[in-house]
Homo-oligomer: A and B are copies of this chain.
């Protein structure tokens, strides 16, 4: 049985995503295709434009059989943590045979070579990166120069790795090595707009450009499948979107005006004096843009700063995060499935090494049943299971509070919204 896995955010699902999905299927020819998707908060450190259920529906209507939620504590991490979460989830599910990811270079042997070196020499390499970081470089740049030194190669070769998809690709491969997983990986050359392209540019526009267009009330009809268009329209009509980071402006500034350095001491990622930078900036800034720009320095990327905002707000404690990056995800939450996907899930229930959560209200019962079944080879930790899951719930409860329509802002959407079944 061949199972194709893709790691996605679908924020929102657009033509480029559809193209990638079709190409991946052509390449692998799978029996089933599943997606691991960021929930309500994405890797850029922003709330998704519409909630995870609406985005899962887009996926199911466009060729995905089952959508699993990447736990929030991974979706809000850098490429390394994001890959540990998403690859870990597929690995522990026990059925995924192939993953396909987009790549700017599409040079799989080069990506593989780099990944192996990084994985096998992580300590020496960490040391080199730290040396570069001390020069005031951002993490991506520090890694680039460290890599050049380590590989004793020219900068041009290394430069191939500057693009976000390649960076992610390397992390996926590293994660496969980490889990000692038998999942095979493939790359597809990325088409169309760059990941970060701000403006609409032809049929394959970036998700960033599409979100910007929505913000300025431009039509996005030609850049997304019709199903996406209709789902977005319906969500907006009901006042459950669009949700932009800016909606949280006063909330975020308040949070950091109220925090002390002590409060941030145990939060993952607030090293290098970032605690002080965040608090000081909240006090001198009058809006979110200023807030982020006042924190920014050459060595911190904008995405990292935005992600850290939510690390602090959701209280991502250092020890639990490190434990999470060591053990990987502790459950698979199903957001939705097709009829075909249902068949997949029946296999997964027999194979998965972590509990499968289809109904969050039954989370404790699921845990009990799992523990009773002692013949199966489980691979999870109960307190981490509870902690990771709580953060998903919390993330939803804050997310829904920033819907445009206040009557929709009740919390507990995870417990009320029935699983999405399409097709």
Report A's interface with B, CB cutoff 8 A.
Answer: 250-251, 253-254, 257-258, 282-287, 313-315, 394, 397-398, 401-402, 406-412
The oligomer's copy count stands at 2
CB contact under 8 A between A410 and B286, given known A250-B250, A401-B250, A401-B253: yes
The residue that A286 contacts in the complex, of B254, B394, B406, with Cβ under 8 A, is B406
Set of chain B residues within 8 Å of A286, measured between Cβ atoms = 406-410
Report yes or no: B285 in contact with A410, Cβ–Cβ below 8 A: yes
Complex Cα spacing A397 to B410, Å: 28
Which residues of the other chain, B, contact A402 by a CB distance below 8 angstroms? 250
Q: How far is the CA of A313 from the CA of B259 in the complex (A)?
A: 10
CB distance from A51 to the nearest CB of B (A): 15
Q: How far is the CB of A67 from chain B (nearest CB, A)?
A: 25
Q: Would you give the shortest CB distance from A410 to chain B, in whole angstroms? A: 5
Contact partner of A394 (CB less than 8 A), chosen from B258, B394, B412, is B258
Q: Is the CB of A411 within 8 A of B282?
A: yes
Q: Are B251 and A250 in contact (CB under 8 A)?
A: yes
Chain B, residue nearest A287 (CB): B406
Give CA–CA (A284, B407) in the complex, Å: 11
Contact partners of A251 in chain B: CB under 8 A = 250-251, 254
Q: Which residues of B contact A313 (CB under 8 A)?
A: 258
What is the distance, in angstroms, from A47's C-beta to the closest C-beta of chain B? 12
* Pick from B283, B315, B407: contact of A411, CB under 8 Å: B283
Cβ–Cβ contact B253 & A409, under 8 A: yes
